Each structure stands twice: as C-alpha cells, then as structure tokens.
Amino acid sequence: MRAEPDLRHGPRARRARGSYVGLALIVVWGLAPFYWMIVTAFRDVDFTFDTTPWPTHVTLDNFRTAFSTDLGNHFGAALWHSLIIGLATTAIALLVGVFAAYALSRLDFRGKYVMLGVVLGASMFPGVALVTPLFQLFSEIGWLEGANYQALIIPNISFALPLTIYTLTAFFGELPWELEEAARVDGCTRGQAFRRIILPLAAPGLFTTAILVFIGSWNEYLLAQQFSTPRTQTVTVAIALFTGAQPHQEPYTAVMAAGVIVTVPLIIMVLVFQRAIVSGLTAGSLKG
C-alpha cells in the first residue's frame, strides 16, 4: 500500500512557513517604532530614557502636557486646523481629479498621453523647490497673516491632484464600458451614466484615493512650517514647536503622546475602510 506524503513537511509547507516568518518580521519591523512611541508616551518624564521594552512608570501627564497651553503648546487647535486643511484638500482634489481622470481614461483626444505624462511628472516635482516662490507670492497678497487656510490648502492640492488623477485614471480604465453604453442606450446622458453607473462602481478607488490624499495632507510638514500662522498651525508644526518645563529641555514624552494622538485617527480610518482600500488597490489586477 502506497504511503501518503506528509504535507506538513513537504516543500510547499516549508515555503508557507518561510512566508509566515517573513510576514511576521515585516509586521514587527513596521510596528516596533509605533509600539515604542506608545510606551514612551505613557512613561513618566523622569524615566524618558528607560530602555525597559514594556510600559513602566505609567502616567497620563504627557497627554495633559501636549494639550497644555501654559507651556505654549497649542496642540488642540492644531488638530482642528489639520482636520480642516486635510478635508478641504481631499474634497477639492477628488472633485477635480475624478472628472480629469474620467476624461483621460474614457475620452480620446489629441495629446491625451502627453497630458497624463505631465500629471505623472508633476507628482515627482520636489516640494522644496516651490517654497521660495510661493512664500514670496503669498507674502505679496497677504496670505501669511491671520487664518488664511488657502495658503496651505492650495499647495497641498498641487501635490494631491496628480496622485488623485493618476490613481483614478488607472481605476476608471478597468471599469467595463458595456455598463455605461447600456445606460446610454436606455436614455441616460453621459453625465447621468457617470453619476449613476460609474461613480458607484468607482467607490473603492475613490475611498482609497481619498484616504491616501488625506494622510498625505495630514502628515505634511515642509509647506506647513513655512506658510502656517498661529491661527492655521497644523499638528506637524505644533509638535515640532513643543517646549518642555525647563529651558532647553526636549519634551520627548509629550512629543510621543502627541504622536500617538495624531496617528490613532489614521489607524482607525484605515481599519474602518480596509475593505475599500484593499478593493481599490487590487482593482484591475485580475481580468475576467
């Protein structure tokens, strides 16, 4: 009688175990800095440089310090400013990008691929090269005073829009033409077919793009550091300006506490929309 092969020790099982080990290492490598940030955020300031790898001397004082205005930390207001700028940047980038991406993927016109190449090239343009001319322009028109959110929203859009257009163009290109043509045959105009057929099908791609754009705007520091005012200061700038209880003291624990607060909304957003993100990122990888 022929013996059955032991699947637990075959080549396929060894490859599977190797894959799991590799994935575990990647997860640990990616989450280790976040874990240490959480440990430091809950650690007493007198034990900032304690190397114990688990939480010790736990306290909530660091979170109180992050929100304390007595030390000049305006972190609470900065959270609100970042939320306004991030939502406005995301909404405008999607509003403009969805129509541009639809035109680039569905319509045939002269210079179509040249325009798509320009969009891709714009996404690679270094932001530091725009700081000086934008600073001079915004100074002349008075946008560097008061609560002028447009001084931060417009530059963010200039970087978010190429990403939005390029991502959605690839996604729209994979949607079936037949559904849109059937809607046109049934009497829908191109706009109605776009609104009733294409947009619902493109929801995963829209969710994915919106989250990527919002995260990019939420984490942006270079332009915010140059163009923000005390009334538009973002979280990245506010954290960089944290002050300690003593002169020349770096408030590492308060910075880590603020970092946890800034990171948690992004994690929640990704967890809530993880199905849409995975669907949007893998759309078009398989063809029926």
Is residue 282 included in any domain, yes or no? no
The DSSP code for 58 is B
Give per-residue pLDDT as tens, 237-271: 999 888 766 656 678 888 999 999 998 878 887 77
What local confidence, expressed as pLDDT, does residue 8 receive?
59
- Would you say how long the chain is, in residues? 288
Strand-pair partners of 58: 43
- With a CB cutoff of 8 Å and minimum separation 6, the contacts of 119 are 100, 104, 162, 165, 166
Is residue 223 included in any domain, yes or no? yes
Residue 106 pLDDT greater than 90, yes or no = no
**Rounded-to-integer distance, Cα 70 and Cα 72, Å:** 6
Q: Please return the burial class of 104, using the count of CB atoms within 10 Å of its CB with bins 0-12, 13-18 and 19+.
A: buried
Q: Please return the burial class of 287, using the count of CB atoms within 10 Å of its CB with bins 0-12, 13-18 and 19+.
A: exposed
What local confidence, expressed as pLDDT, does residue 241 receive?
86
Find tokens 């045939």 and name the residue: 108
Is residue 261 included in any domain, yes or no? no
Is residue 119 included in any domain, yes or no? yes
Is residue 149 included in any domain, yes or no? yes
The angle formed by the CA atoms of residues 283, 284 and 288, to the nearest 5 degrees, is 115
Is residue 227 included in any domain, yes or no? yes
Residue 110 pLDDT greater than 70, yes or no = yes
Residue 102's CATH number: 1.10.3720.10
Q: What pTM was computed for the model?
A: 0.83
Is residue 275 included in any domain, yes or no? no
Q: pLDDT band for 283, please (50, 70, 90 cuts).
A: low
Strand-pair partners of 43: 58
Q: Which domain holds residue 156?
A: 72-241
Number of structural domains in the chain:
1
Is residue 23 included in any domain, yes or no? no
